Structure 1
């Protein structure tokens, strides 16, 4: 399997959305980081506290450790990876299996963007892998990898004029290991489900839908915003 460092940075013009930190406006559509779907599934209100109200709290030890592991894996990957464009990699992967890490992906139509931990391209399929610290496939984790699949599929369709029909598989892997503990074929039902959730996220950001706080006190106890949250149940 060849390692490719895909240079795929955005060339879209954008404006920052003043009401919500981290949100961009591209072609008139709100665009948010895909990683926020993991936060949304944990507690929507924490998104509001951090990015709408601008409350800042220190990162947890787990967050710092995760960032460190990600960086170490990326640095090791770069030692053998060769620079390549997304278009060229799509073409060569029809004959040679290819792997890329920390691949930037953006889809203005759906209003999402982010970095995929790992993409494996084979002659038969694309495997979109998101690394997680444990081995339990939480709904929030599944939603995050589904959104990566959606954006990836859209980019493939644009580059190939809809002629590359290799199936897409979303996968969750235990961080720092080869242990893939969840896989799912990205079919039409899955696609429709994640589009529905993305539309809800846009509603939250633009203010047409309310942020719903978690009803789980265990989540509140471990939340780094608990001392700033009026909905704290712990």
Structure 2
């Protein structure tokens, strides 16, 4: 893993200043696609609300899977795993990734490393491939690609939480890379005030949002 100099952002929670640049969690790419104003409320304005049931269940499931994985896992450095995977298939869970170049970081739920390709898996509740979920997994792909500097193909995949059901997958090609870099640049512009946070205009999203009680820009019924 690359060595970096980091410190917390003085005003925006969860943002780190790494190598002199803002660095945000890759999970924000999912939030941005759902409603980027929620990022403002929670991390800029500092509104604190309880996690949703889905968030709690997701954390519990991640912990369970990680504990099961660790029972039979053999310790190895990231570099050792990359080298071994050139001739054998490997599996890693909760793999940390960070890109100072793009200003993103996170933990990949699961990575399959094979001699031909890397498969980046993000676990989600349900079986619907929302564009915001695709944005998140492609963010992991970008950070992973930036770290490994390897010519093997990268595949992004979404899996139904608690199952082996991969319900969506796609190659992380040049078009996917271009699109996700553009989205990351938008979030970076939000963080420095070059762009305004835009709330969703979908009242269904507002109804299920855990920040709705404190939100001053809720979408009204019939606004779609």
Instruction: Output the TM-score relative to the length of structure 2.
Output: 0.96
Which of 168, 192, 211 is residue 225 of structure 1 equivalent to? 211
Aligned pairs (5 A) from 1:158-169: 164-169=150-155
Q: Distance between the aligned counterparts of 1:106 and 1:174, measured in 2?
A: 25
Q: Provide structure 1 residue ranges, at least 5 long, that are not aligned to the other structure.
A: 1-7, 158-163
1:182-227 superposed Cα distances (whole Å, 9 cap, x missing partner) = 1110111110110000000001111110000000001111111111
Which of 128, 139, 150 is residue 136 of structure 1 equivalent to? 128
Shift of residue 177 of structure 1?
Answer: 0.6
Aligned pairs (5 A) from 1:104-183: 104-157=96-149, 164-183=150-169
Q: Which moved more, 1:224-233 or 1:211-220?
A: 224-233
Q: Distance between the aligned counterparts of 1:101 and 1:27, measured in 2?
A: 26
1:51 aligns with 2:43: yes
Show the counterpart of 1:66. Answer: 58
Shift of residue 233 of structure 1?
Answer: 2.7
Q: Distance between the aligned counterparts of 1:11 and 1:165, measured in 2?
A: 23
Where has structure 1 moved over 2 Å in runs of 4 or more?
A: none
Shift of residue 39 of structure 1?
Answer: 0.7
Show the counterpart of 1:79. Answer: 71
1:38 aligns with 2:38: no
- Tell me the matched-pair count: 220
Instruction: Output the TM-score relative to the length of structure 1.
Output: 0.92
Which of 73, 84, 103 is residue 92 of structure 1 equivalent to? 84
Q: Distance between the aligned counterparts of 1:11 and 1:50, measured in 2?
A: 29
Show the counterpart of 1:188. Answer: 174
Q: Distance between the aligned counterparts of 1:188 and 1:107, measured in 2?
A: 18
